């Protein structure tokens, strides 16, 4: 049995009675292995491995380092087996012998599942930032026949597709379930029936392979799309623009987030979809409105949107305005110029996003902006936000477009810090259709 005794403020001794011990020193986020000793008669029986493995497993959020004499081959092999890698050398550290500086850096692979709406997606994410393999099965072609997502059809399709998408993701990565360190899944917010498919799948895998299960909030996932191939800088403001959300969130650090403002009515993506529907464009409307706007001119006057001191948004007024405008023109027997109308609409909502985001950045003196969510894949919005940030000396990070709309890579990226903090979820975790970060 491994026991633990604190030697002083920094040093702790882990030991197995009558066998041996390991002493560690913890300083900030560093953990140094300062001494390893196994009694002569207990060596080569796996005790050092057992002690060190115990220390590693219980200190996943520490950078673990050690020094070893270059001629101590059995020890070096033991450390390598545990996942330590040589990162440096110190010459003549042990009299005339070199010390190898080794760091524990086991790669963490998380298999993540996203099924909150109409995309069945599975991804394998390495160390929270590297997309090893991602598969997205979109149901858009089915739902567009109905002009929007039909929840009952969505959950049935997730059921049909989930095992196929899982297999494809693993074979693309050339990996097995056994290679995963944890299974993660979106549990909220979203369509309950859809969420349940991914959730039950991830929990079952966790049970079968005896690996932790991590529950991820979909909106935290959208924000975490910014962590793929990128390191975040705090404090930051995150602008979430999706089919169900339009939020400005201040994050002082990874664990502290505060909602500055949200939409008071429709989400921006919902508004794009509604405008598309009014104009007879296919679901999802966002990309189609953007396409038409590209060749249009800003000729239609749009109402001024919620020009107040808050950080809130509002999109229902502009939606009704477009609806009335098209309706009135039809009644007069006129056709609207769809390209110009899309352009005028897009300019107005972009301006609204910009004015509120700019105000929040200035008022809170924040120098780093993230954007997230399906609407963040809109090139015009990306460009205009970038220009605004440049004008006020703020750095902006925009995720690759393929990580803006729903995908499981962002869920794996969000799950990684939870894995390091051992924030694992119970296997009776249920889906929640509505839950904030």
The minimum distance between CB 225 and ligand KG4, in angstroms, equals: 10
Could you say which of 378, 385, 388, 416 contacts ligand KG4 (CB under 6 A)? 378
Ordered strands of the 213-217 beta sheet:
130-138, 119-126, 109-114, 182-188, 213-217
Could you say which of 109, 213, 272, 403 contacts ligand KG4 (CB under 6 A)? 272
Give dist(CA 183, CA 169) in Å, integer. 14
State the binding partner of 378 from Zn ion, ligand KG4, none, CB within 5 to 8 A by kind: ligand KG4
Query: Contact between 284 and ligand KG4 (CB under 6 A)?
Result: yes
State the binding partner of 407 from Zn ion, ligand KG4, none, CB within 5 to 8 A by kind: none
Of the candidate spans 20-28, 63-71, 205-213, 369-377, the one that interacts with ligand KG4 by CB under 6 A turns out to be 369-377
Query: Contact between 273 and ligand KG4 (CB under 6 A)?
Result: yes
What's the distance, Cα to Cα, between the start and end of the chain in Å? 40
Neighbours of 67 (CB within 10 A): 16
Query: Contact between 224 and Zn ion (CB under 5 A)?
Result: no
Query: Contact between 114 and ligand KG4 (CB under 6 A)?
Result: no
Query: Contact between 373 and ligand KG4 (CB under 6 A)?
Result: yes
Could you say which of 206, 242, 314, 378 contacts Zn ion (CB under 5 A)? 242
Nearest Cα to 231, choosing from 368, 355, 354, 99?
A: 368
Q: Toward ligand KG4, which CB reaches closer, 286 or 412?
A: 286
Name the token pair of 200: 């039950």
Could you say which of 287, 359, 432, 436 contacts ligand KG4 (CB under 6 A)? 287
Query: Contact between 269 and ligand KG4 (CB under 6 A)?
Result: yes
Of the candidate spans 86-94, 284-292, 294-302, 411-419, the one that interacts with ligand KG4 by CB under 6 A turns out to be 284-292
The minimum distance between CB 142 and ligand KG4, in angstroms, equals: 16
Q: Toward ligand KG4, which CB reaches closer, 222 or 356?
A: 222
State the binding partner of 266 from ligand KG4, Zn ion, none, CB within 5 to 8 A by kind: none
**Cβ proximity of 6 and 12 under 8 Å:** yes
CA dihedral 288→153→193→159, nearest 10 degrees, is: -110
Query: Contact between 406 and Zn ion (CB under 5 A)?
Result: yes
The minimum distance between CB 70 and ligand KG4, in angstroms, equals: 52
State the binding partner of 405 from Zn ion, ligand KG4, none, CB within 5 to 8 A by kind: ligand KG4
Give dist(CA 305, CA 16) in Å, integer. 68
Query: Contact between 285 and ligand KG4 (CB under 6 A)?
Result: yes
Query: Contact letters (x/-) for ligand KG4, 61-100, by CB under 6 A?
Result: ----------------------------------------
Could you say which of 251, 290, 368, 396 contacts ligand KG4 (CB under 6 A)? 290
The minimum distance between CB 270 and ligand KG4, in angstroms, equals: 6
Q: Toward ligand KG4, which CB reaches closer, 212 or 284?
A: 284
Q: Which residues contact 252 (CB under 8 A, 6 or more apart)?
A: 234, 235, 258
Of the candidate spans 21-29, 155-163, 302-310, 371-379, the one that interacts with ligand KG4 by CB under 6 A turns out to be 371-379
Query: Contact between 243 and ligand KG4 (CB under 6 A)?
Result: yes
Could you say which of 212, 296, 374, 399 contacts ligand KG4 (CB under 6 A)? 374
Nearest Cα to 368, choosing from 176, 229, 232, 185?
A: 232
Question: What are the backbone angles phi and psi of residue 13, rounded to the nearest 5°?
Answer: -110, 125
What are the residues binding ligand KG4 (CB under 6 A)? Answer: 117, 242-244, 269, 272-273, 284-287, 290, 373-375, 377-378, 405-406
What are the residues binding Zn ion (CB under 5 A)? Answer: 242, 406
């Amino acid at each position: 049995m491994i026991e633990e005794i604190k030697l002083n403020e920094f040093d702790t001794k882990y030991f197995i009675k009558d066998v041996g011990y390991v002493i560690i020193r913890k300083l900030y986020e560093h953990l140094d292995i300062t001494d390893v000793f196994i009694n002569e008669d207990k060596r080569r029986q796996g005790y050092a491995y057992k002690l060190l493995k115990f220390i590693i497993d219980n200190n996943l959020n520490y950078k673990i380092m050690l020094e070893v004499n270059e001629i101590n081959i059995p020890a070096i092999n033991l450390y390598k087996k545990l996942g330590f890698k040589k990162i440096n050398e110190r010459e003549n550290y042990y009299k005339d012998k070199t010390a190898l500086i080794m760091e524990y850096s086991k790669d963490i692979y998380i298999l993540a599942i996203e099924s909150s709406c109409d995309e069945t997606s599975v991804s394998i994410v390495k160390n929270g930032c590297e997309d090893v393999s991602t598969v997205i099965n979109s149901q858009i072609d089915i739902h567009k026949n109905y002009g929007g997502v039909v929840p009952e059809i969505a959950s049935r399709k997730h059921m049909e597709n989930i095992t196929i998408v899982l297999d494809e993701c693993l074979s693309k990565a050339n990996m097995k379930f056994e290679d995963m360190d944890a299974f993660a899944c979106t549990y909220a917010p979203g369509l309950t029936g859809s969420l349940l498919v991914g959730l039950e799948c991830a929990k079952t895998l966790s049970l079968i392979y005896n690996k932790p299960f991590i529950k991820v909030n979909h909106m935290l996932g959208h924000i975490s799309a910014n962590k793929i191939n990128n390191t975040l800088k705090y404090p930051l403001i995150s602008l979430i623009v999706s089919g169900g959300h339009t939020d400005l969130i201040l994050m002082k650090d990874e664990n502290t987030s505060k909602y500055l403002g949200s939409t008071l009515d429709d989400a921006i993506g919902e508004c794009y979809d509604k405008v598309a529907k009014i104009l007879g464009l296919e679901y999802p409307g966002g990309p189609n409105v953007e396409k038409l706007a590209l060749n249009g001119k800003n000729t239609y006057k749009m109402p001024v949107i919620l020009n107040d001191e808050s950080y809130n948004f509002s999109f229902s007024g502009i939606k009704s305005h477009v609806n009335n405008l098209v309706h009135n023109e039809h009644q007069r027997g006129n056709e609207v110029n769809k390209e110009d109308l899309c352009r005028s609409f897009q300019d107005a909502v972009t301006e609204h996003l910009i004015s509120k985001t700019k105000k929040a950045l200035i008022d809170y003196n924040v120098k780093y902006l993230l954007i997230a969510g399906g609407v963040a894949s809109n090139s015009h919005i990306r460009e205009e936000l970038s220009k605004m940030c440049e004008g006020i000396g703020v750095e902006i990070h925009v995720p690759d477009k393929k990580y803006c709309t729903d995908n499981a890579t962002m869920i794996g990226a969000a799950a990684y810090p939870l894995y390091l903090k051992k924030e694992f979820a119970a296997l009776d975790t249920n889906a929640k259709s509505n839950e904030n970060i």
